[in-house]
Structure 1
Amino acid sequence: MRDRLVRRVGEFAAGGFVLAIGGLLVWILTTQVNGRLLASPLIAGRFFEAFLLVVRIVVISSVLSVTAGVFVGLGRISTSPITGRIATGYIEFFRGTPLLFQLFVIYFGVPRLWATGEFPFQDWAVPAAIIGLTLNHAAYVGEAIRGGIDAVPDGQMEAARSLGMSRVMALRTVVMPQAWRNALAAIGNDQIILVKDTSLLTVIAVPEIMSVFRNINSNQLDPWTPLVWVCVLYLAITMSMSQVVDGLERRSDWGSDGGMFGRLSRFSPGSTDDGGES
């Protein structure tokens, strides 16, 4: 009875929360949002341009941060103390300082290393954004990779070495596929955070989604109408990335019938084509 009561209380609380939030959203959409401004081709076009720019920055930064993060994670487990300490220092710096600080250093500080007029980039905002996001999130991906490798039993490496594999080959063919599976959820979560971190790029003059919102709000004195566009566009990116991560997790689910291991196990010597024992 107590279990049933707790479940009913939870359902009541969750339902009440949904009704309250839903009612608030309906009230905002019906009383605070200007439908004519919301559907304006000019407003929609400006937000769409910013959306495409954010998608391009996210794609490039995601690929670079994951790639760099793999090497940072491998550096963390390196048998070389120099490599390990450098990787640890990199992670501690970029996780220990705000992303906004890092963007300021790259956007404002780096050009000052050149003499006036000699900096090679005329439009430095977007490259600085990509560099800042890549360096920051590579540190988090590196820690996720390191945690994924640590979660692989030591016997996996020992078994691979006993078969004559070198340490590099054992890492590449035995340990890293399992580590990637262990770290995939954390990496996917970090890449979704990367999408939301693009909202900080407005402070370095990148014409992204929040920058468009600020301009429209300043001109129209109407915050709620452009905020609807901001919400829809960010959700479009983050929900799409969540679907990609979920798909990758299903493909790497080695223990299920639909996963990689499940498909391979059908062809093992101890099983038949129909999945039964021989």
Structure 2
Amino acid sequence: MAGSYSGESSTQRVEESVINDTTLKWGGVAVSSIFSLAVLGLIGYIVYAKVDFGLLQTIFPRFVDAYLLVLRIFVMGSVLSVIAGIFVGFGRVSSTFPTGAVAKGYVSFFRGTPLLFQIIIIYFGIPALWTGTFPIQDWEIPAAVIALTLNHAAYIGEAIRGGIGAVPEGQMEAARSLGMSYTQGMREVILPQAWRNALAAIGNDQVILVKDTSLLTVIAVPEIISVFRSVNSATFDPWTPIVLTAVAYLGITLPLGYVVSYLEDRADWGGETN
């Protein structure tokens, strides 16, 4: 009797668990469907009732120019920040005191102060240190690339440091036992594995880099937010330029997200190796 009662209780608990899981599943489907329909309805209302299609055609070329400018700044900042971030990551794992201390101080400063503050320092501060006429004309774009590179190199350096830390210590020992120097072991054995470990964080940082270009409006870079502000102040129509602003940013971040996902798949992220 006791065994029969215990078996019935176990069956009942399993059935209740299945019911709860099913309820949770369909509850999630219902909530997500309602949310999606609400968002689509709001977008449809905005496009139908708030967007001036005549103005849209007029300002579209300005947003295309701003989009291309942001894309150029992003590509330059992305390449330079990844390269610099690798060196920062090496510095963060270095056992040499000056190297490790400098890398730690660099990361602490650029992660501990706002990017907007760093942009202001580079754009206004560097020319003020120059004796006489500052030699670089149109300093806005170089200052923007430098600020974005220095800031994001700190975050990428930390991602690389974490990626290196996730590689088992025996990997370097095995490389050294094969006659590799420390530098060769890092380049040929450790860094490829660290890159794989850090790829998701680096990809996320690159998406943030795209969005951080919006801060460049404070130094008169004619990027997407600057064009939005100009159009809005001239026409008092917020929604028409808002639509183009959203499309412009998503036109960079969505493909970038697919590229990162592709690279993760190529790296067999989280998978088993044969």
Q: How does 1:1-278 map to 2 (within 5 A)?
A: 1-40=19-58, 43-116=59-132, 118-253=133-268
1:255 shift after superposition: 7.3
CA displacement, residues 33-80 of structure 1 (integer Å, 9 cap, x when unaligned): 11111122xx11111111111111000000000000000000001120
1:50–1:14: structure 2 CA closer, same or farther, 3 Å change rule?
Answer: same
CA displacement, residues 236-257 of structure 1 (integer Å, 9 cap, x when unaligned): 1011111221221122117769
One-letter amino acid of the counterpart of residue 72, structure 1: V
Paired with 2:212 and 2:270, the residues of 1 have a C-alpha distance of 34
2:135 aligned counterpart, secondary structure: coil
Paired with 1:34 and 1:49, the residues of 2 have a C-alpha distance of 20
One-letter amino acid of the counterpart of residue 62, structure 1: S
Paired with 1:74 and 1:31, the residues of 2 have a C-alpha distance of 54
CA displacement, residues 207-236 of structure 1 (integer Å, 9 cap, x when unaligned): 001111111111111010011110001001
1:128–1:170: structure 2 CA closer, same or farther, 3 Å change rule?
Answer: same
Percent identity over the alignment is 61
1:115 shift after superposition: 3.0
Larger Rg: 2
One-letter amino acid of the counterpart of residue 98, structure 1: P
1 or 2, which has the higher helix percentage?
A: 2
RMSD: 1.4
One-letter amino acid of the counterpart of residue 3, structure 1: D
1:146 shift after superposition: 0.3
CA displacement, residues 82-111 of structure 1 (integer Å, 9 cap, x when unaligned): 101100110010000000000000011111
Structure 2, unpaired ranges of 5+: 1-18
Q: How many residues align?
A: 256
Runs of 4+ in 1 over 6 A off after TM superposition: none
Structure 1, unpaired ranges of 5+: 266-278
1:13 shift after superposition: 1.1
Tell me the TM-score normalised to structure 2 length.
0.90
1:155 shift after superposition: 1.1
Paired with 1:254 and 1:201, the residues of 2 have a C-alpha distance of 34
2:51 aligned counterpart, secondary structure: coil
Tell me the TM-score normalised to structure 1 length.
0.89
One-letter amino acid of the counterpart of residue 181, structure 2: S
1:52 aligned counterpart, secondary structure: helix
Paired with 2:269 and 2:193, the residues of 1 have a C-alpha distance of 9
